[in-house]
Amino acid sequence: MELNELYETIEKIGVLTFSTIHEGEVHSRSAHFNGFDQDGLYFRTMANKPYARQLLETGRLTVCGISDARIEHKGAVPVFPPSITLRLIGEVRRVPPEVIIEKAKTNAMLETAAQDIENYPAMADGNFVMHRAKGELFDVDFEKEARDHKVIRTRFSFGGATFNPAGVRITDACIGCGACKEVCSFQAIEEGTPYRCIPEYCDDCGSCLKVCPVDAIQESLVF
Ligand code: SF4
Ligand code: SF4
């Protein structure tokens, strides 16, 4: 996935949750990206906020958001409307004010950031870029209104980050009984020798691990 495609999705979601670490605690707040270029995704805050200091101390940031967070109910059963969830795990660095001002001459998305540098002293050192990250899009249609699969997962990276593939792993110990395929409500297992998990459809729910008679299925790797 290219950064322009990623940014289009980010714009559709709007406000996201940005999380940092401080002394072992996770700190989250609502925020948004305000532009992108070949160097990554840009965002900003007031330079003296603890948030900015945590970004500088660790250089680490995770971001999460969903395009439609409503929960409806069919009787007592919660129903989640179709939506796209984004998560990013990455590295950030501060962008000097003169760099933002220069970039804004050819990148309209950064014009407001450049103006704020002129207008608010606290904004001068408050611009950051997520320059290296791995991410995942989780396209959900739990009621299968528009397609046959509840989830479609897409993993990607930029800036040289790497990631593990999604999904459980079925080993050669598989005896082909079909129990995993039968129990998988995500239709993420196909027949074969051995059977195979289709990573983009797998939810990592673990039901298949519970029913395999020969422990041929290994849990998914951490992203
Ligand atoms: S349940 Fe286990 S043995 Fe049976 S098909 Fe699936 S992986 Fe193979
Ligand atoms: S972990 Fe869940 S979604 Fe993934 S293959 Fe197994 S049963 Fe299907």
Q: What pLDDT digit, counting tens, does each position of 61-85 carry?
A: 999 999 988 888 888 888 889 999 9
pLDDT for the residue numbered 70: 87
Q: What rounded mean pLDDT belongs to the chain?
A: 95
- What is the share, in percent, of the chain residues with pLDDT greater than 90? 88
Ranges of CATH 3.30.70.20 domains, the chain: 169-218
pLDDT at residue 79 in the model: 87
Q: Which two tokens stand for residue 31?
A: 């925020």
Average pLDDT over residues 53-64: 97
How far does the centroid of ligand 2 lie from the alpha carbon of residue 56, in Å?
39
3-state secondary structure the chain: CCHHHHHHHHHHHCCEEEEEEECCEEEEEEECCCEEECCEEEEECCCCCHHHHHHHHHCEEEEEEECCCCCEEECCEEECCCEEEEEEEEEEEECCHHHHHHHHCCCHHHHHHHHHHHHCHHHCCCEEEEEEEEEEEEEECCCCCCCCCCEEEEEEEECCCCCCCCCCEECCCCCCCCHHHHHCCCCCEECCCCCEECCCCCCCCCHHHHHCCCCCEECCCCC
Q: How far apart are CA 25 and CA 139, in angstroms?
A: 29
Residues with CB under 6 A from ligand 2: 168, 183-184, 186, 188-189, 197, 202-208
pLDDT band, very low/low/confident/very high, at 145 (cuts 50, 70, 90): confident
Q: With contact defined as beta carbons under 8 Å apart, do 32 and 130 qualify? A: no
Chain-centroid distance of CA 139 in Å reads 11
Any idea which fold 3-158 has? Pnp Oxidase; Chain A (2.30.110)
Residue 17: both structure tokens together: 């949750």
According to the model, what pLDDT value does residue 43 have? 98
Which whole-number Å values give the CA distances from 195 to 92, 177, 205, in the listed order? Answer: 40, 9, 17
Average pLDDT over residues 177-198: 97
Q: Which ligand is nearest to the CA of 179?
A: 1
- For residue 209, give the ligand nearest its CA: 2
| Ligand 1 centroid, distance to 215 Cα (angstroms) | 8
Ligand that comes closest to the CA of residue 212: 1
Four-way CATH pick for 169-218: 3.40.50.620, 3.30.420.40, 3.30.70.20, 3.40.50.300: 3.30.70.20
- pLDDT score of 15 more than 90: yes
pLDDT at 40 over 90: yes
Band (pLDDT 50/70/90 cuts) for residue 148 is: confident
State which ligand 2 atom lies nearest to the alpha carbon of 203: 3
Give the mean pLDDT of 128-146: 94
The pLDDT of residue 212 is 98
Give the model's pLDDT for residue 78. 87
Mean pLDDT throughout 10-37? 96
Ligand 1 centroid to Cα of residue 33, in Å, is 44
- Enumerate the CATH 2.30.110.10 domain ranges in the chain, comma separated: 3-158
Q: In angstroms, what is the span from residue 213 Cα to ligand 2's centroid?
A: 15
**pLDDT of 56 over the 90 cut:** yes
Average pLDDT of span 86-104: 98
